[in-house]
């Protein structure tokens, strides 16, 4: 037998049989419409489901925001490494070719700054990386290690490419023989 709460007094009202839509509350005498109460309960269930989905969406949006910020930081590191490494090698090459030690010294200082970013960025980016995999909508326990290894590989590739670019630049501009 189905019993529901009376909307007037809160007492429990028994439904006499499944075909009856109305029943009288034994406490206050008010009529209770069972379909209406059932609809109200369904509404509350849907309202709770909607709230849970909104909470999940807020978490996903927060994770997407964190990923965007992390990606921006990674791209800044890569750009910084590429630019400083290129400038360092061009200055070092020009200084050696023109026998100007001060230019070579400046190139060495810039190279040290680039090297500092090459070494520190994998640690910083791995620390800032979230464990949440936005694409697959799940937790990835190895995300920080993957970010660390990936950044090391990217840094090595960026350094090698910028060294090659600096060498070609020096050849094209006549800075080297």
What's the pLDDT tens digit per position in 6-61? 888 888 888 777 777 788 888 998 888 776 545 667 777 778 888 888 887 777 78
Query: Do the domain assignments include residue 167?
Result: yes
Number of domains in the chain: 1
Secondary structure letter of residue 83 according to DSSP: H
Q: Is residue 54 domain-resident?
A: no
Give the separation between CA 49 and CA 38, rounded to whole angstroms: 16
Q: Is residue 13 part of a domain?
A: no
- Asked if residue 147 is part of any domain, the answer here is yes
In a domain, 144, yes or no: yes
Asked if residue 42 is part of any domain, the answer here is no
Burial 155-166 (b: 16+ CB within 10 A, else e): beebbeebeeeb
Residue 141 lies in a domain: yes
pTM for the full model? 0.63
What's the domain range around 156? 63-173
Q: Is residue 55 in some structural domain?
A: no
Give the CA angle between residues 71, 136, 118 to the nearest 5°: 30
Q: Give the whole-angstrom CA distance, residue 129 versus residue 123.
A: 10
Give tens-digit pLDDT for 58-113.
Answer: 777 888 888 889 899 999 999 999 999 999 988 887 766 677 777 788 888 999 99
């Amino acid at each position: 037998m189905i019993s529901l709460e009376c909307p007037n007094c809160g007492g429990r009202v028994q439904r006499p049989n499944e075909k009856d839509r109305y029943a009288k509350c034994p406490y206050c005498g008010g009529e209770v419409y069972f379909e209406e109460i059932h609809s109200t309960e369904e509404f509350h269930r849907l309202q709770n489901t909607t709230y849970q989905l909104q909470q999940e969406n807020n978490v996903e949006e927060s994770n997407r925001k964190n990923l965007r910020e992390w990606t921006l930081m990674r791209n800044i590191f890569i750009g910084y490494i590429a630019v400083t490494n290129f400038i360092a090698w061009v200055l070092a090459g020009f200084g050696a070719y023109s026998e100007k030690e001060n230019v070579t010294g400046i190139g060495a200082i810039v190279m040290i700054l680039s090297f500092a970013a090459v070494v520190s960025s994998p640690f910083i980016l791995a620390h800032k990386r979230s464990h949440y995999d936005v694409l697959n909508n799940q937790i990835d326990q190895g995300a920080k290690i993957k970010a660390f290894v990936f950044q090391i590989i990217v840094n090595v590739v960026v350094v090698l490419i910028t060294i090659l670019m600096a060498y070609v630049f020096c050849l094209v501009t006549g800075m080297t023989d």
